[in-house]
A and B are shown apart, each in its own frame.
Chain A
Amino acid sequence: QSALTQPRSVSGSPGQSITISCTGTSSDVGGYNFVSWYQQHPGKAPKLIIYDVSKRPSGVPDHFSGSKSGNTASLTISGLQAEDEADYYCCSYAGSSLYVFGTGTEVTVL
């Protein structure tokens, strides 16, 4: 049960696009289409923004999108906004009712 690997930090200017990677193995990210992404602002509970690799819950802005290739999932934030500054975590199902989170990425809006 090793954590999925994410970059520690990513930054961008307002309006730019950024991508956060989430690298696992064939036993988790590569083995299932159950990758989800969470946004967490300081002092708050995490919030689901992407599920099943690329689906957006209702109410989540469409400038968030997700994808997966092999053992790596990605979250893209298009048209970066000040309110997107937060920590982001990926999560994958790992079989046998086990789950694993990513190491987390701090997004800074310059």
Chain B
Amino acid sequence: EVQLVESGGGLVQPGGSLRLSCAVSGFTFTSYEMNWVRQAPGKGLEWVSSISSSGSTMSYADSVKGRFTISRDNAKNSLFLQMNSLRVEDTAVYYCARNNPFFDPWGQGTLVTVSS
């Protein structure tokens, strides 16, 4: 069974940092591009970042460029999102998703709350 399980969310103050993780199982992780997608409370979906299967190519939405860094550990079937200089508007549920180039499947999401 294909599974994606996010972790690492929580409450952080503006300007702070947080590292999200996504543990993957049930498919050949090294064969797929992976992504982070977020959804602010009561709002729509927003693509955040993608990383190629090898980890050599990363891309970011303008809203997070320069503050967030996507990475992966192919030996541990894991995807990461390092979030620095967090803003109130980064508050959202963050989902990891496999890309093909459509997003499927998705994890259950982890909530990040940026507030003082």
Contacts and interface: CB of A to CB of B under 8 A. Distances in A.
Do they bind each other?
yes
B108 A1 contact: no
A103 interface: yes
A52 interface: yes
Contact of B103 (A38, A52, A96, A102): A38
Contacts of A51: 100, 102, 104
Interface in B49-69: 50, 52, 57, 59, 61-63
Interface stretch (B13-21, B23-31, B39-47, B78-86): B39-47
B-side interface size class: 20 to 34
B104 A97 contact: no
B47 A100 contact: yes
A36 interface: yes
B47 A48 contact: no
Interface residues of A, number: 25
A91 B50 CA distance: 14
A90 to B, nearest CB: 10
B44 A99 contact: no
Given A45-B109, A99-B35, A101-B44, A36 B102 contact: yes
Contacts of A38: 45, 103
B103 A97 contact: no
Interface string A78-110: 000000000001010100111111111000000
Contact of A89 (B45, B62, B95): B45
Interface of A: 1, 3, 34, 36, 38, 40, 45-48, 51-52, 57, 89, 91, 93, 96-104
12 contacts: A34-B101, A45-B107, A46-B45, A48-B102, A48-B103, A51-B100, A89-B45, A97-B59, A98-B47, A98-B61, A99-B101, A103-B44
Interface of B: 33, 35, 37, 44-47, 50, 52, 57, 59, 61-63, 95, 100-109
